Amino acid sequence: MSMFVRNELAAQWTILLLALIFSLASMFWAPFEQAVGWLIIVVGAKVMLLEVCRRFSAAPDAAEQPVVWYRRLLIAEAIGGMAWSGFALVGIGGHGIAGQEYIFSSHVFLFASLIVVLAIRMTFASTVIPILLIGTVPMTIAVVARLLMLQEFFYYALASMAIGVHVYFIFLARGLQSTAQAMLEFRAQKDLLISELAEAKSISDEARRRAEAANKAKSRFLATMSHELRTPLNAILGFSEVMSNEIMGPLENPTYKEYAENIHSSGSHLLHLINEILDLSRIEAGRYELNEGTVVVADILDDCQSLLKLRAEAKGLKLVEDYAEDLPHVWADERAIRQICLNLLSNAIKFTPRGGSVTLTAKQTADGGQMIRVTDTGPGIPKEELPKVLQAFGQGSLAHQTAEGGTGLGLPIVTSLIELHGGTFKLDSELRVGTVATVYLPAKRVLRAMSPLQPLGQEHHRADLRPVRPVGVQVTGSASRRPPRVIGARVDRGNRIRAMA
């Protein structure tokens, strides 16, 4: 019914204009009074139907009273159908203005008008078949009766065609009704799906909000607990070190000294674990502040390999350094870069079997940035486990079998720290070949050396000079390098390679 009402209100002037045309045309064979009288009746019936449709649209409880409104629309349409059937009676009796000479044309026009009205009513009322029938059957009956009254074969044929056309339009209307019902069902299913998706999205958003809030609360808690966790642990480490070194005097029982050494070793491991957790928590909570300054990446890598050289020698590993000469300074947090290098190098040493090698690389990238790369010849990581090892506390399956114990926080900390610098971290691995961990610092972090001053009036300006980055920091000269300590082999190709067995 709603579609029928919308159609009637949307084309309310169409039927009135059509009735006016029919009335003017009927004046060629019918008296003026009959034509105008019929037009007034049709307009009145149409106005009544439109008023019922407007009330239906304005009624807030129309959907709750379908039977009442269906009856009202049916009555209004029946009155309209009876009014339109009166067009077949206009000019009957042969007393029209032009007499009998217009009988043929008038009846053909009457037949054509029936087809037009049937087509329009089928378009408007195809969604409610009873309303269509009650609005068109009276006019069809009246037209057929008018044609049969002439008692000629031609008009009998027209009457038969009128009935056939009406039946055809009824079947066509039923097809349109089925299509409209299917469309409404699809629309209802679509609306239901949209509402379910909206509900699922709201539930998902709420769950995500709660998870994020819980994660932030956890991170804030751990970040603020750093003092409370580390202070008593440092005391335990201090006392155990005093006891194991027998600073206050020798221990009578050697077992106590061994216990003290175990306490100090376990406490150191626990402190390292706590520091990693707190660092990651501070980063996640947004409380990790970068203390930025000028940094030489190659120097930091050199320091880190010096710290871990004994561990590598204990496993029989070969450390190879491949640093580009005269690397520019970078603007970064030295502590963060050092922690990145230590984490990558310690992981490589940890996972590389005895007799393997670990290569440290520092050089410029094609876009003007710098990269730090640590390559090992360890067991490698399966491709499907790479996302797992980049998550907090995530470890690969081969790591559990071949490597020393770890927390699984090293790579997440590396990723978070380099992202704070605007850089990226990439991990590539191949089973039984090794792993390549690469950290990229963006070009905006690299400080360009300024050209030397020239005598006044003899300046040579270059259009391709880059500004010093960041603003306010100037670096005069290339990166300072400590004197190389070559052990094993030296390859002079612009890079220096140090091999330590």
In the predicted model, residues of the chain with pLDDT beneath 70 are 1, 4, 62-63, 93-102, 219, 222-227, 284-287, 393-394, 396-407, 449-501
Alpha carbons 338 and 344: distance in angstroms, whole number: 10
Q: Which of 424, 405, 410 is nearest to 339 (CA)?
A: 410
Starting at the edge strand found earlier in the chain, the sheet holding 495-500 runs 424-430, 434-441, 370-376, 357-364, 318-324, 495-500
Q: Which two tokens stand for residue 448?
A: 């360009």
Q: How far from 329 is each of 221, 422, 466, 485, CA to CA, in Å?
A: 37, 16, 14, 21
In this predicted structure, what is the pLDDT of residue 446?
Answer: 92
- Quick one: pLDDT at residue 146? 81
pLDDT at 449: 62
> Which pLDDT tens digit goes with each residue over 16-58?
888 888 888 888 777 888 888 888 888 888 888 888 878 877 7
Give the model's pLDDT for residue 176. Answer: 78
pLDDT the model gives residue 345: 92
Place of tokens 């056939």: 164
Identify any residues that bridge with 321 across adjacent strands, giving them in sequence order.
360, 498
Give burial (CB, 10 Å; 0-12/13-18/19+) of 406: middle
Go through 117-140 and write b for each residue having 16 or more CB atoms within 10 A of its CB, e for each that does not.
bbeebbebbbbbeebbbbbbebbb
User: Is residue 429 within 8 Å of 386, Cβ to Cβ?
Assistant: yes
Residue 133's pLDDT is 79
Q: If we measure between CA atoms, which residue out of 7, 5, 83 comes closest to residue 39? A: 83
Domain ranges (residues) in the chain: 2-193, 226-284, 292-450+467-500
Superfamily for 292-450+467-500?
Histidine kinase-like ATPase, C-terminal domain (3.30.565.10)
Write b or e for each residue in 408-443: b if 16 or more Cβ atoms lie within 10 A of its Cβ, otherwise e: bbbbbbbbbbbebbebebebebeeeebbbbbbbbbb
The whole model's pTM is what? 0.47
